A and B are shown apart, each in its own frame.
Chain A
Amino acid sequence: MTPPSDPSAPPSWLEQRLPIGRMLRDHLIFAPIPADFSLGACVEPLIWGALITLTFTGIWLGLFYHAAPQHAFTSLQTIMRAVPFGWLIRDLHRTGVSILFALAYLQLFRALRLGLYRDGRELAWIVSLVRFAMFLFLGVLGFIMIDGAASIALSLDLAAHLAAIPLIGHAIAQAFLGAASDLSRPDLTRIAMAHIAIGFLLLLIAGLTSLTQRLAPPANRDGLPRLDPRDLVAFHPYGSPRLFAAAIITGLIFFGLILAAPHGQSSRLNAIPAGTLALPLHLDLPWYLLGFAGLAQAGQSLGGGTALIAVVLILLAALPWLDRSPAAAARYRPWHRRALWLLAGAWVLLSIGAADPRGAWTLMIDLSACYVIAHFLLVTPLISLLEAPQPVPTRLRGAKK
């Protein structure tokens, strides 16, 4: 095995002019990773895998998709039935989105647990939040592109929420959703172009995320701001088998979903073509948008809902300055750890409630949204000031000494 940047080996002709091999060795294959490299640390490369899958399947879907009101729905039926392997490519795309969001939510929760937003990692955290917001926006645009009954319901709801923003709202809604003055029908050409263009822009932002994470102190399970050099190992061979295992597990889940439950994530209402005669009474959203739909519902009004979603995203970005505890990782902060599980529970309740917001669930949505806001605004700062954390070691706990 070649050691990282072996100075004795003469570089090849291409390597002299474009040291891509050295870059791969230093920053990917033999990149220094903390010795407690876990399955959770594999989420970032897996997100890249999902993004590349989505990009390629997206380009291929774009070859057959007609972004016009009467044709979009039909062209998707053609993809599903007449294009060779079209069903597989579309299922890779829509199930890939579910996998991507599952990974993104996991990564958010892991960052909250390990304190990966503070101690020199603030910029990496904020860039990763921008990336997450882009995931959400692209998810919404992609769902509208299906042009079924649920798509038009979401498009109308999004238009109403955007238009509720004071001064600039209506202009933003019109810029994205199209020329119709009442915004009753989205301009699919704009939606499709925005989906594709922002999708490629997302690759750039994802690259920036990985770059800032690479430059920030290495993420570790003890939340240490800096690691002893003895606690760092080369990715290959110490971390690569674990990434291989994580990729196989994720791939099995991915293809299991595609082959056994291809419609599991899609709205049944989207089997009906969009039209003003088939407007659904309520939103029927994919699971990854439900938490934010719950927030929108808890805002009590269109403007309130938009504001609440913005507040949660801003509070997440402000988290490095709201958390004042001397320890970063939740494993050394018992009360903070409990509050985080409560936050995850509140988010799940918010999502379940938003799927069918009736009866007692409206109250549950409001309570959960209250906790989500309070967790970042009150609970985290107060616990971090009042709680005395357990002693944090100076070396990694899981590492060989």
Chain B
Amino acid sequence: MRQTPIRFLTILALAFAAVGFGAMAWVFIAALGPIRPAAAPSVATNLASSRR
């Protein structure tokens, strides 16, 4: 009789969780970095103020 591969599913779940939490941790650490200096209020303004 085949058994449910609990161990395999556990590893899969842990791998998913690790990747997900890792990505989030990376985002949170990156957010602490320097704020972009030339922050234009919109894409339109950004384009208008850029060099031709």
Is the CB of B9 closer than 8 A to any CB of chain A?
A: yes
Q: Is the CB of A89 within 8 A of B39?
A: no
In the complex, are the beta carbons of A82 and B6 less than 8 A apart? no
Tell me the bound Cα distance from A84 to B41 in angstroms: 15
Considering only residues 47-87 of chain A, those with a C-beta below 8 Å from chain B are: 56, 60, 63, 77-78, 81-86
CB of A78 within 8 A of CB of B39, answer: yes
- Contact between B28 and A244 (Cβ–Cβ < 8 Å)? no
Across chains A and B, the number of contacting residue pairs, with CB separation under 8 Å, is 37
Q: Is A326 an interface residue (CB 8 A)?
A: no
Which residue of the partner chain, among B28, B36, B39, B41, contacts A56 with CB atoms under 8 Å? B28
Known contacts A237-B6, A241-B9, A244-B13; A88/B27 CB under 8 A: yes
Which chain B residue shows the least CB distance to A86?
Answer: B31
CB of B22 to closest CB in A, whole Å: 14
Chain B interface size band reads 10 to 19
With A1-B6, A241-B9, A244-B13 in contact, is A82–B28 under 8 Å at CB? no
B18 at the A/B interface (Cβ < 8 Å)? no
Query: SS class of chain A's interface: helix, strand, loop or mixed?
Result: helix
How far, in Å, is A240 (CB) from chain B's closest CB? 8
**Cβ–Cβ contact B9 & A81, under 8 A:** no
Q: How many A residues touch B, CB cutoff 8 Å?
A: 18
Given A1-B6, A237-B6, A244-B13: A81 and B41 interface contact (C-beta under 8 Å): yes
Q: Which residues of B contact A89 (CB under 8 A)?
A: 27-28, 31
Whether A83 pairs with B28 at a CB distance below 8 angstroms is no
Which residue in chain A gives the minimum CB-CB distance to B35?
A82
Residues of A within 8 A of B28 (CB): 56, 60, 85, 89
Do the beta carbons of B27 and A85 come within 8 Å of each other? yes
Q: Does B40 contact A (CB under 8 A)?
A: yes
B residues less than 8 Å from A88 (CB atoms): 27
Report whether A60 and B31 are in contact in the complex, using a CB–CB cutoff of 8 Å: yes
156-211 of chain A: CB within 8 A of chain B: none
With CB as the reference atom, state the residue of chain B lying closest to A82.
B39
Of B6, B31, B39, B40, which one neighbours A85 at CB under 8 angstroms? B31
With A78-B35, A83-B35 given, can you name 20 additional A-B contacts, CB distance below 8 Å?
A1-B6, A56-B28, A63-B32, A77-B41, A78-B39, A81-B40, A82-B35, A82-B36, A83-B31, A84-B30, A84-B33, A85-B27, A85-B30, A86-B31, A88-B27, A89-B28, A89-B31, A237-B4, A241-B9, A244-B13
Residues of A near any B CB (own CB < 8 A)? 1, 56, 60, 63, 77-78, 81-86, 88-89, 237, 241, 244, 251
Minimum-distance CB pairs A-B, first 9: A82-B39, A82-B36, A85-B27, A84-B30, A82-B35, A85-B31, A81-B39, A84-B33, A237-B6
22 of the cross-chain contacts (CB-CB < 8 Å) are A56-B28, A60-B28, A60-B31, A78-B39, A81-B36, A81-B40, A81-B41, A82-B35, A82-B36, A82-B39, A83-B36, A84-B31, A84-B35, A84-B36, A85-B27, A85-B28, A85-B30, A85-B31, A86-B31, A88-B27, A241-B9, A251-B20
